[in-house]
Chain A
């Protein structure tokens, strides 16, 4: 008997473990948010099929002005959460449950890491279910990145910020390019607290040795256009340094200055400026002006450190204050001050062309039951001058408010990491020049595949034609609806 019971137990375990993988993914993510709802409201069970919910239950969950009591925010990391924590007035965070409170509204953070497109996949699945979800399970606010912004802003899943109640006057101080990126059919569908203009960050010591000065104005003179840039690269090579670290470094300066979008009338169009990037990078590679690294690879990071022999990097706001700074330290846990690695040996200049890199936009999801809460978050965190100036002063993040940034640009704001330079002044100068009217919903896939395909050309494993054909092959796999040359 005992044996029988034991074998029965084993069989059950096997069957259960077999079936365990078949759960509905949607449900899991929804439960993530849903669990907290249960706790806060004491509601017995939140049903997945919202239409079955009785009216009384919904009434119970709404407050005086008819809005929901649960605000669901979808994002891929905790950056925005920490901004809300530190700068949104009245937000109280509960570390134990990971949720927060704004007045009597519970804020749920549904965080899905970006890796391997996971965030977009989860978000897409949830958005497609949005109409059927209960009010408390509906997405209210979600975050997007520029490269795929249009995928969401051109759809009906995002709300026009004007319908939320934000006015042109509210957004007047935002940089134009940050609005262009989320504009579809003339409607602004999102808003961001950060602007991310890019600069060229270079090593002061190398500049002194090779160019005779580390003065950002003089260095900028020498890097003002691509011909001058290439000439300096040759000097660097002669002195035993490389101008750039790898293949992808200058990509965004080219891809942000194209004459038309990636996809025109359903056809993939490779802009001449992108081919200029290919030619320049190939020339740099063959001449030894770069170190053949790839973005985010350990070798690339090492080139930014004390052992690095690379003159400079194209970096935007966050990249300089966070990534580059961390990479430059000899002792990662040591104090962040001159003497630790090459802290203080950096400076920034505009470089040959204006560009931006990165950034996060807030979008209101259509069907949200908390429009006024969403509006207020957008208003306070992306339009309020004082709050945004405060964010920059505290976190060094460059915020999306021209007035506030220009004030800091004209102040004695200094960065010890950049040898006392006021980099905000350069950012403030560069940001208005960014032109992002040529974006498409396919930018992320196109940029990724384009850089990937041409790596073979730079490495000498494929001819230019082959690399281009590989790009065309791969892009159609990603976006079957597109046609190519």
Chain B
């Protein structure tokens, strides 16, 4: 008996020991940078050519500057609209695919193959994917060639000189890269639903759409919320695809300039103050959204 007790204590110790790497890595790579970012955001600190300006304590000046001089609301709006353009089709297509894949009555063949194929685009590096789209949709690229050969248009359509074209392409890429991943998560969610519910519904004579609407969707809510929040956080951090597609400029007319692209621009002058202020705001925004969803989630469980 006493032997068992001592081994129990030893296990607890090991538990803590195994937690050390996480906390160590978290402290070094997340906590300390987070605190130093907040600290930096209150200073004027940048390079003017080869000269260091600051650091001088300026209070909330950087935050005020962000709202007064920079079009931060516009960049936030850009980010959200591009995210929505990609997310709405993503969730619709993923839900449909997930429902089909798990529906045994459809007797789909080669499911494994299709699951792999839809997951594939997510494996490509975003930067490479973006480069690819840049050449495919360029003014003299293959898409324009094909459209012109088919006499659908008689002048090249300049996708990247068009607001809808650029935003649409970014959204399309995000959609292609992420819908496979979402499908797999939703499938796992649907498979976790008690099958007796489906059987009961069928016995009661519910049609496929009714089952989907009144059983799958409500039961899937926690997973849907999870998908929504991860995608939203990912969307707020959207960077690589638009950065490469527009060469960092957010063309046309800054309509595809996302928040992180704007943050990246401050690197040119190593502007730690403004960059820090922007990061803190992003952090606050993400935190607020996460808390909001977390509360809805917890309430639901109660």
Interface residues of A (CB under 8 A from B): 11, 15, 18, 117, 124, 127-128, 151-152, 154-155, 157, 292-293, 297-299, 302, 441, 445, 452, 455-456, 459, 461-462, 466-467, 470, 473-474, 476-481
Contacts and interface: CB of A to CB of B under 8 A. Distances in A.
A299 B139 contact: yes
A18 B50 CA distance: 32
B268 A461 contact: no
Nearest to A460: B161
Interface bracket on B? 20 to 34
What are the 4 closest A-B residue pairs judged by CB atoms, nearest first? A461-B252, A459-B161, A462-B253, A456-B253
A204 B244 CA distance: 38
Contacts of A154: 49
Interface string B1-15: 000000000000000
Nearest to A299: B140
Interface string B266-281: 1011010010000000
Given A124-B50, A478-B265, A480-B274, A292 B251 contact: no
A477 B71 CA distance: 11
Contacts of A461: 161-163, 252-253, 255
B225 interface: no
B286 interface: no
Given A292-B158, A480-B271, 18 more contacts: A128-B50, A152-B50, A154-B49, A455-B251, A456-B252, A459-B158, A459-B252, A461-B253, A467-B253, A470-B253, A470-B254, A473-B254, A477-B262, A477-B268, A479-B48, A480-B269, A480-B274, A481-B53
A441 B49 CA distance: 8
Given A117-B268, A299-B138, A155 B49 contact: yes
Contact of A452 (B251, B262, B271): B251
B239 interface: no
Contacts of B47: 124
B163 to A, nearest CB: 6
A452 B48 contact: no
B301 interface: no
B69 interface: yes
A478 B251 contact: no
B265 A477 contact: yes
Contact of B49 (A151, A298, A462): A151
Given A18-B25, A299-B139, A481 B48 contact: yes
Contacts of B115: none
Interface in B221-274: 249, 251-255, 262, 265-266, 268-269, 271, 274
A478 B50 contact: no
Contacts of B255: 461
Contacts of A455: 161, 251-252
A461 B274 CA distance: 28
Nearest to A150: B49
B206 interface: no
A448 to B, nearest CB: 9
A299 B140 CA distance: 6
Contacts of A18: 25
Interface string B30-62: 000000000000000011111101000000000
B70 interface: yes
Contacts of B140: 298-299, 302
B50 A151 contact: yes
Given A157-B50, A461-B161, A480-B274, A473 B70 contact: yes
Contact of B50 (A155, A456, A479, A481): A155
Nearest to B52: A128
Nearest to A156: B50
Contacts of B49: 151, 154-155, 441
B27 to A, nearest CB: 13
Nearest to B50: A155
Contacts of A462: 252-253
A15 B255 CA distance: 41
Contacts of A473: 69-71, 254
A445 B268 CA distance: 10
A470 B75 CA distance: 13
Nearest to B139: A299
A151 B269 CA distance: 13
Given A124-B50, A152-B50, A456-B251, A476 B25 contact: no
Contact of A298 (B46, B138, B161, B249): B138
Nearest to B71: A473
B252 to A, nearest CB: 4
Interface string B162-189: 1100000000000000000000000000
Contacts of A479: 48, 269
Nearest to A449: B249
A52 to B, nearest CB: 25
Nearest to A15: B21
A247 to B, nearest CB: 11
Contacts of A155: 49-51
B80 to A, nearest CB: 20
A466 B253 contact: yes
A55 to B, nearest CB: 30
Interface in B124-170: 138-140, 158, 161-163
A117 B251 CA distance: 20
Contacts of B265: 474, 477-478
A461 B50 CA distance: 36
Contacts of A297: 138-139
A356 B137 CA distance: 34
A18 B140 CA distance: 42
A292 B50 contact: no
